[in-house]
Amino acid sequence: MNPNPVPARLDGITTRWSLIRTAHKGDRDAETARAALVMRYAKAVRAYVGGILKNREDADELAQEVIVRLLKGDFAGADPTRGRFRDLLKTATRNMVRNFWEKQARRRPVEADLGLVAVNDQTGDPWLASWQKTVLDHTWDALKDQDRKSPAYNLMRLRTEFPDDSSDKLAERLANKIGTPVRPDACRQMLRRARLKFAELLLDEIKLGLEDPSPQRVEEELAALELLDLIQDFL
C-alpha cells in the first residue's frame, strides 16, 4: 500500500494547486488537504534543507518549520500564474533557510552552504534533485498500489536492479519473486506493459504539479527534472 495516500475526500483533486486552494478555504476539507500536502512533499523539503544546513539538528528544525507552515495554511497567497507548485515550495523553503541562517548567525556560527541559498538557480540545483526523487517515489508507490492486479512493480524493480539480465534470467527472478512460473516471452510482454504503466503514472504525477497540464508543459517539466528519457518512447 502507498504509505502516503491522498485522503478519500480529495481524490477528485487534479492538481497540487487545487489542493493548495482547498487547503485555504477554511472548510472541513482544509485541514485534510494540508496534511496531504505535507505527506507528499515533506521528504523533498527535508532533503533540500539538509543539503544546505550541514547540521542535522538545524536541518530537522527548519524542515519542521516549513511543514508547520504547510499545516497552518500559510500559502494562501500562492498564485499559479507565477510559476509551478514546486517553485513556490522551493522559494518559501529557501527564504526560510535564509531567515533561519541570519537569526542563528547572530547567536552562534552556523555551518551552511550559502551558495545553495542563492536567488538564481545553478547547475546541480539540490531542490531539483529532491523534487525528482519525490516524483519518482510517488510514481513507484502508485505502481506498487496496482501490483495486486499485476506483477508490474516487482518486474520493474527487478529490471532496475538487474538491467543486464536476459529475458530468461529476468523471468526466472520474477517467478521466484511471485511464486508462479513465468515464460521468457511472457516476461517481455509484461515488462513492456509495466514500463507503459510506469510512464502513465509518472505523467499523472507530473500533471499534479502543473496548473496547466498541457502536453508541452508536461514535457518541459519532465525535461527540467531530467526524467524525459525515462518515458520518451511512450509519449
Angle at CA of residue 178, ends 175 and 181, nearest 5° = 35
pLDDT, position 66: 83
Residue 23: C-alpha distances to residues 4, 71, 146, 225 (Å): 17, 9, 28, 26
Q: Name the pTM for this structure.
A: 0.68
End-to-end CA distance of the chain: 28
Pick from 145, 142, 146, 46: which is nearest to 97 by CA?
46
Please give the Cα distance from 115 to 16 (Å, whole number): 29
Buried b (16+ CB within 10 A) or exposed e, 211-221: eebeeebbeeb
What pLDDT does 60 receive? Answer: 87
DSSP strand E in 49-166: where? Answer: none
- pLDDT for the residue numbered 88: 76
Q: What is the pLDDT of residue 134?
A: 87
Tens place of pLDDT per residue across the chain (235 aa): 444 443 333 333 345 666 667 766 766 777 777 777 777 778 888 888 888 877 888 888 888 888 887 767 666 666 666 667 777 778 888 888 888 877 766 554 445 454 544 433 444 677 888 888 888 998 999 999 887 767 899 999 999 999 999 999 999 999 999 999 999 999 999 999 999 999 999 998 888 777 777 888 888 889 988 898 888 877 6
Nearest to 225 by CA among 149, 155, 127: 127
> What pLDDT is attached to residue 105?
62
> Tell me, what's the pLDDT at 82?
62
